[in-house]
Amino acid sequence: MRFFRSILALSLLAILWSCDDSVVYKAHEDIKDGLWYIKNKPEFKVSIEDTVSRYNVYYVFRNALQYPYYNLYLTRQVNGPDGALISNTLEELFVSNEITGKPYGKGLGDLFDHKVPIAKDYSFPKSGVYTFKLSQSMRQNPLPHILSVGIAVEKVKNEP
């Protein structure tokens, strides 16, 4: 019963969180059985038409409280509209406090949602479809208790 309440509450949070007109793209891929294999590399295709505006780009992911590490190493590959490689970057994301073990992110029950900046105030050089490919780069394969991973792109709001 507690699990179903957690899912319901997180669904309501997701609905409220998604009602933002600055969101250009937001998608995630569920990780089957919460076991993220190295060979599983979710791809996200982000269509950018406005190259004048500035954007904030984020990782979005969900983990269970049982996730055994305080960090998560991700490799992010980005290809431009012409298919050319723009970046291939290994990054360390923090899931919980290393000392106390207190989880970061927004949580309810034993599930935690994270929104971690990739790029702030970024302008895409060309219009078209950008492909983001994410893979886990931890030593453990499969990596347990990662439930979903994705990308969010939001237009930077101009302050009045």
**Average of per-residue pLDDT values in the chain:** 90
Instruction: Convert the pLDDT of each residue in 56-87 to its tens digit.
Output: 999 999 999 999 999 999 999 999 999 999 99
Q: Where are the domains of the chain?
A: 2-155
Q: Which CATH class is domain 2-155?
A: mainly beta
At 77, list the tokens: 């590959």
At 130, list the tokens: 């950008």
Instruction: Convert the pLDDT of each residue in 90-149 to its tens digit.
Output: 999 999 999 999 999 999 999 999 999 999 999 999 999 999 999 999 999 999 999 999
> How large is the C-alpha radius of gyration of the chain?
16
